[in-house]
Amino acid sequence: MVFPQTRLRRLRRTPELRSLVRETEVLPRHLVLPLFVEAELDGSRPIDALPGVSRHSVDAAVAEAGEAAALGLGGVILFGIPSAKDEQGTEAWDDGGAVQLAARAIKAAHPGVVVITDVCLCEYTSHGHCGVLRDDGSVDNDASLELLARTAVSHARAGADVVAPSDMMDGRVGAIRRELDGEGFADVPIMAYSAKHASAFYSPFRDAADSTPAFGDRRGYQMDPANGDEALREVELDVAEGADIVMVKPALTALDLIWRVKQQTRLPVAAYQVSGEYAMIKTSSMDDRALALETLTALRRAGADIVITYFAKDAARWLAT
Ligand code: PBG
């Protein structure tokens, strides 16, 4: 016999009742659209590994940002594809680089769009690692900090509203904060990729950004997916160094960490639904719309204030219907 007071189904009886008691909401403003910018490109070029996603010229990126604004998205995050790569990744901090040109053009055309820029060296280095290398091929953490800070300042100079270091070098948030403050950008917040696991889910992105390491892997600086407490230590350090928003990445494999990070920091928490998570849904034989909305809802329920997702534009349209 079921106790009358345990009839939870009563509140599921109609769409209106379900809506009345729904706890979690996904709104377009929670979503951030990643944009790959290649200045040399004419228009947009589809990315094979990411069906439905393209690399964009600066003009095409401006058009995308306009669409993002019209759909009410929370913002865009820019990734640059350089015209040339070298050992140091010098185009990363070039004021005429892809990200800088796009940030400037987007802010000029659509001042209301929140422009976040990914700060890293891996798209710009000939070896594809996120920092510079020592002679023995290992990543030199401390020598990379200055270059990352220079990159962040160059993005701020181009009008970036938020800079987002994704390199996972120790101390980069502090180095970037100091440099931004010293160069007159004390008001530019940092969204730190704080808890970033070394993940196979990034492989379509590496095709998209042409940033697969030429040798070795990223396990020397990205976190072991087996570790959760370590993610909290990473977050703690980034917060101490001045992170304003903290990120967990990938998203669906780290729902526990999204929750723990939110409880621990009470800061805005971003979850990055990465390229492989997108591709997995997009290429499955299941209903991609339903899967996308279900996963985005789960990320919000776990505590994500912001979700970076390649579904951002689609999701905003689906949510409106
Ligand atoms: C750069 C960076 C990566 C992603 C975001 N910034 C790649 C990596 O760390 O290998 C991955 C995003 C995605 O897979 O969608 N360091």
Determine which residue's CA is closest to atom 11 belonging to ligand 1. 202
CATH no. of 25-246 = 3.20.20.70
Beta strands in the chain (DSSP E): 31-38, 44-46, 54-56, 75-81, 115-119, 162-165, 191-196, 245-249, 269-273, 306-309
Render pLDDT for 177-219 as a digit per residue (tens, 0 to 9): 999 999 999 999 999 999 999 999 999 999 888 899 999 999 9
- Predicted TM-score (pTM) of this structure: 0.97
* Predicted local confidence at residue 1, as pLDDT: 65
Contact (CB, 8 A) for 262 and 232 = no
Pocket flag, ligand 1, residue 118 (CB < 6 Å):
yes
Ligand 1 in reach of 164 Cβ (< 6 A): no
- DSSP output for 269-281: EEEEE-HHHHHHH
Q: How far is the CA of 320 from the centre of ligand 1 (A)?
A: 29
Q: State which ligand 1 atom lies nearest to the alpha carbon of 203.
A: 14
In angstroms, rounded to a whole number, what is the distance separating the alpha carbons of residues 253 and 81? Answer: 28
Contact 32 CB / ligand 1 (< 6 Å): no
Query: Where do the structural domains in the chain lie, given as residue ranges?
Result: 25-246
pLDDT for the residue numbered 79: 98
Buried b (16+ CB within 10 A) or exposed e, 60-75: bbbbbbebbbebebbb
| H-assigned helices in 83-129 | 98-109
Do 50 and 280 touch, CB atoms closer than 8 A?
A: no
The alpha carbon of residue 28 and the mean position of all alpha carbons in its chain are separated, in whole angstroms, by: 16
Q: State in Å: Cα 279 to ligand 1 middle.
A: 14
Q: From first to last of the 321 residues of the chain, give the pLDDT tens digit.
A: 667 677 889 999 999 999 999 999 999 999 999 999 999 999 999 999 999 999 999 999 999 999 999 999 999 999 999 999 999 999 999 999 999 999 999 999 999 999 999 999 999 999 999 999 999 999 999 999 999 999 999 999 999 999 999 999 999 999 999 999 999 999 999 999 999 999 999 999 998 888 999 999 999 999 999 999 999 999 999 999 999 999 999 999 999 999 999 999 999 999 999 999 999 999 999 999 999 999 999 999 999 999 999 999 999 999 998
pLDDT value of residue 147: 98
Q: Is 274 touching ligand 1 by the criterion CB < 6 Å? A: yes
Ligand 1 proximity of 120 Cβ (cutoff 6 Å): yes
pLDDT digits (tens, 9 = 90+) for 103-127: 999 999 999 999 999 999 999 999 9
Residue nearest to atom 6 of ligand 1 (CA): 166
User: Which protein residue's CA is at the shortest distance from atom 8 of ligand 1?
Assistant: 202
Contacts for 291 with CB less than 8 Å, ≥ 6 apart: 281, 284
Q: Which atom of ligand 1 is nearest to the CA of 204?
A: 14
CB-CB neighbours of 234 under 10 Å: 23
